[in-house]
Structure 1
Amino acid sequence: MNKRVLSFVAPTLVLGGALVLITLSPSTGAQTGLRNLDFNRESGTLTLRADSFSLVAILNQLKEKHGIEVVVPNLIDQKVKANLTNVALPEALKQILPYGTRFHLIVRDAELRLPANTGHKKPGHVQPKPGNVPTKDKTRPLPDALRTRIKVEPEKVKKTQTTGERGTKMKPTERVDEGKGPKQSLPPRAETKRYVRLNLSITRDGKVQIIRFLEVPGKLALPTMISGELVYAAFVGGQVVAVGSVQDPLGVRSYQKDEYGHSAEQQDTGTFLISLPERFLNRSVLSRAVIGFYYLDEAAPRTIPLTPENFSKLRQYLKPTAEIRGKELLEAVNKRYEGRQGR
């Protein structure tokens, strides 16, 4: 008689111990709870109605009456309460076996039809496709009955060519069947947004120098509210293209003594950052650019939005402090690329 082996596993794969073939004799004391055990060989489904019936006895009856042996790891007998009607055999066994038990079916009739193993679905669980049954037991070889061959559809096969040399890749030359319908093109790749960030130093006498010229990925969004006493404006060809503000880099607030409380002082040097639009990555723009720095008067209205269009309204409240011209910006860019090449 022909024999084939089918392997199944409960939702949680539990390994350990050797595989044991169930050959125990039916327990006579546990027979009283079995009301119906019927296996349909045409559909491969099981009907089982039991109330506190021996699990080992059920598996032995499958073997004796229907020629199906069940292999499980270290099975411990337990009472089964089930009411199953025409349930696929693998699914029925998963419901009566202890949760997480791995098992195999040895079918003595090669013509027996069993439904595909659907398994128990959990949230986020992806059911494996039919094919070779996976196993993590490296000491046990996979039976020949489990090894299958997948037939690839002709329309998905590509003709390939190679030079035959080691390490060369196979290149597809043509497709047997390009499929139906027009070829769809991929959407154009979105360009990466970038902007400029300048790391600057300032002295009490109003001298500003570039410490570092940085190219930052992302989209620039300058705030429109005045956030500090030091205002900067970027000009290109005499037109204001970007404005912003930062806290006074020279300002220091400290707590000295209880009788004096907090005090505001100014240090000799300070550092700060400003951001500029993407156009300042262009050398031709940098050569025509000027960045002006101003201290904001205390009487200036803070409700005016800080935008290039409103810069003229704030100009009467701004005290010019320093400026950076295009030559200095280009020198900072050149140092940046020289530093990259020297790495």
Structure 2
Amino acid sequence: MGTHKAHKARRTCKADNRGRRAYIGSFTAAGGPGITTAAVDPASGALTPLYVTDAVPNPSYLAPSPDGRYLYAVSETPDGAAAAFALTPGGPALLAPAVPVNGADPTHLALAAGHLVTANYGSGSVSALPVRADGSLGGPARVLAHQGSGPRTDRQEGPHAHAVLPAPGGRWLLSADLGTDSVRVCVLGAAEGAEGTPAVHDEVRLRPGSGPRHLAFHPRGGHVYAIHELEPTVTVCRWDGEGGVLTPLGETRLLPDGGGGGGGRRCGGTFPSALVLSPDGGFAWAANRGHDSLSVLRLDASGDAATLVTTVPCGGRWPRDLALHPDGRHLYAANERSGDVTWFTVDPDTGVPARGGSIEVPAASCVVFV
């Protein structure tokens, strides 16, 4: 941070308070600035950096509160923590010291049933912290430890929880585990002495060795799509919100034939990372690290099937996250290894994104909008 004090938001250019804001997480251990606040041009989708804060180390994933007043971040470190920020005109302001999640290397987080829930990759667990009325986080964390392993001994020697996603209606919480090739359907316990503790309702097995990483709901709520890190595929699942039943229907490849294989030993060196859906449920887009591309998928009217349309370059290297602006017209790739966030304008008829521009954000890891 040079001559600037740590834990203080600093201004990087003239502020522009019009329109929405983007908040960009990054790995401070790899030279990232922490959390970058940027203005979003509503017409072009262009980003203009405004402020940065390094108040917590490695804020690799972010989640805003529904009312847009607060921003929550994981601190992806071996000790594992989460932090709450108030969103002020001068950027995110830390509400209180980060709270331990009692899990290692939290990679993802979500708000559910009055709690902040984290997926802890290193310890293979899911943690829940109560959210107080002032937006700050309480403790201690309630922890659900995943169990199991997968056939890939280099990556699946044990559980590796990678994402958490609340289901529509707030009753269920889904967690994707790369190490056990499964998605767990959970509830936040309401029994005496167990309030807020995640509990497994069902565990749904996906293809062995595929490594599910992230999840996305169809806008109508009746389907879930799981993107896999160890194979360049996405699994389409039907979702029954009444009974909390997840039913896998089939897989779709994210790359054209001959376009590269799964990551690691079976190498083509492709490690898919993130998946987002259009507001009307007609398209989905996936980010592919290694292949350094974005896949365009067309979804059928029922949501039961996905078809690969094409792939386009991601605008940098190693797209760790992919985000769609709430208006559905602009797509953003956080390219970790090239240190930038690239934006695209989406063709509404074909779903194909066209590159618009980029800003420099070293070790960029995620983008969210408020």
Q: Which bin holds the TM-score, normalised by the shorter protein?
A: under 0.3
Greater per-residue helix proportion:
1
What's the TM-score once normalised by structure 1's chain length? 0.17
Q: Which has the higher strand share?
A: 2
